[in-house]
Amino acid sequence: MRTINLQLKKKLNEIYVIEPNDLGAQFLNNIYKRINIYFKTAPFIVIVPLSFIIAITVYFIFGYLLIKIVSLLQYGF
């Protein structure tokens, strides 16, 4: 019984150990930490306007073709 308990504790420690994010280079880690602060506190302040700008830009680039592709995908799925 004791060995099962120790094995269970080892597995739980493996599951709940989360290593810090490491992107390989120090400057990438610094950039990630600075950008990630905004996503942790208020993600919609960044994501909603950015997605709106991207959608408008893609619409201006592809125009009517984008509407046809979206309609095709909507009916396909």
pLDDT digits (tens, 9 = 90+) for 20-29: 777 778 888 8
With b for 16 or more beta-carbon neighbours within 10 A and e for fewer, the 16-25 pattern comes to eeeeeeeeee
CA-CA distance, 19 to 11, in Å (whole number)?
16
pLDDT digits (tens, 9 = 90+) for 51-72: 999 999 998 998 889 888 888 8
E strand or H helix at 33: helix 26-41
Q: Where are the domains of the chain?
A: 25-77
